[in-house]
Amino acid sequence: MTLDSITDDFRSARSFTERLVAPLSAEDCLVQSMDDVSPTRWHLAHTTWFFETFVLCEQPGYEAFDPQFNFLFNSYYNTIGAQYPRGQRGLISRPGREQILAYRKHVDQQLLQRLECSQFAAKYRPLIEVGIQHEQQHQELILTDIKHVLSCNPTWPKYQDLPVDTAKQTARDAPITIDEGLYEIGHTGSGFSFDNESPCHRVFLPASSLESRLVTCGEYREFIDAGGYERPEYWLSMGWSAVNQNQWQGPMYWMSVDDQTMQFTLAGLCPLDLDAPVTHVSFFEADAYARWRGKRLPTEFEWEVAASRAPLGNEEPFVDWFVDRDLAIHPTRSPSGFCGSVWQWTASNYLGYPGYQPARGAVGEYSGKFMCDQHVLRGGSVATHSSHIRPTYRNFFPAATRWQFSGIRLAE
């Protein structure tokens, strides 16, 4: 990101967030349907708080738009101060959406005005770039979160009233093989990356192979029909407990309506497409399915090596809302058919690479402090911003997480 482009990139990121929110009512934007989901209005305010707190509040003479926002919209930055409880964000009815949009406008104007100064732009470019990438992450969360919110409504409302495009995967190619040896892992080059993608380092990998396609809904339904959710021998102990405690019988958003298997999407309730990649499964379900097939999940290092040599256009994404150039749902915008359809669970725990050191100060709380009890996912999904689709990108969630667009790629 150059000094010439930083202003345009900032404008683009901020305006795209508001385009994503445009189809939603004020009532839609208030709901918090579970602890993992944040209300849309909170996302709008929190991404604004990031720029105000880390950039504008550092400027002499700047006064915060509302000092109470530092408590209401701080996510997890303990260095900055206390935070309102995450699971209670849906109780914040005020400030309302209009006031939050006014907050966004105020911060945008203040920041854009300062970006006219080349010295300011040069000094704060790296931090503003992190803020843009952070906002793009929340754009993905806006979509995944509102999907869960709308799924709780028994009338099955649509986020967008457009036809559902359930793109088919192409014919299965040969598996991608990895020879035994040393491989470089991690981000290199001048493009943006998060700190958890570095340092670049070497790992030893035994010989292995990864399937060229993702597991489909039809293949996963065979697991269900074979009694997969009733047979403990396929499940990790914690996974079997999760199945029973949560009464899982299939992926999230699958349901039977008039004896037909349906799937809730952001375009409403639709018949299940058996050729589309299965999505909204937990690590436990992905692992159990792999065991049932006599295979396994790849490590994140195997995945990264395979992604770097995967053929282009190997698969098209499963689209369940409007097509927009800024999301990863355009296969031509994905660097590899390996990426941009669903997040893919790996067998790897989320840990720092050898020599990893988080940044100093509050920004250093961005990634490192979450390196405990999480599993790595790779590849990006249809909700991921296209600029985030790269082989080294590391997402991470607890093993029982299902509300993200997460799927399965097998290895052996």
| CA dist., res. 338 & res. 346, Å (int) | 14
Distance CA 213, CA 145 (A): 27
Query: Could you tell me if 363 and 130 are in contact, meaning their C-beta atoms sit under 8 angstroms apart?
Result: yes
The pLDDT value recorded for residue 173 is 77
Give the tokens for residue 173.
């190619």
Q: Which two tokens stand for residue 106?
A: 């105020």
Distance CA 241, CA 281 (A): 16
397 versus 173: the higher-pLDDT residue is: 397
CB 278 within 8 A of CB 288: no
C-alpha 146/C-alpha 107 separation (Å) is: 25
- Write out pLDDT tens, residues 140-183: 999 999 999 999 999 999 998 764 444 455 556 789 999 999 99
**Over the stretch 306-327, which tens digit does the pLDDT of each residue have?**
999 886 443 444 334 444 445 5
**3-151, what's its fold?**
Four Helix Bundle (Hemerythrin (Met), subunit A) (1.20.120)
Residue 336 has pLDDT above 60, yes or no: no
What is the CA 345 to chain-centroid distance, rounded? Answer: 12
Residue 78: phi and psi, rounded to 5, are -65, -30
Q: Which CATH superfamily is domain 165-407 in?
A: paralog of FGE (formylglycine-generating enzyme) (3.90.1580.10)
* Cα gap 77→56, rounded to integer Å: 17
Amino acid at 124: Y
Amino acid identity for residue 242 in this structure = A
Q: In the structure encoding, which two tokens stand for residue 206, read together?
A: 């035994």
Please give the order of strands across the beta sheet that includes 395-397.
Answer: 395-397, 375-378, 343-349, 406-407
Q: Does residue 278 contact residue 215 with C-beta atoms inside 8 Å? A: yes
Task: Give the mean pLDDT of the chain.
Answer: 90
pLDDT value at 59 more than 90: yes
For the chain, the structural domain boundaries read: 3-151, 165-407
Beta strands 395-397 and 318-319, pairing class: unpaired
Q: Would you say 37 and 147 are in contact if contact means Cβ atoms under 8 Å apart?
A: no
What's the pLDDT score for residue 170?
54
Residue 127 is inside which H or E element, if any? helix 118-151
What is the rounded distance in angstroms from the CA atom of residue 95 to the CA atom of residue 257? 39
Distance CA 392, CA 303 (A): 10
| Average of per-residue pLDDT across 204-231 | 97
Task: Report percent pLDDT > 70 for the chain.
Answer: 90
Q: Which pLDDT belongs to residue 337?
A: 64
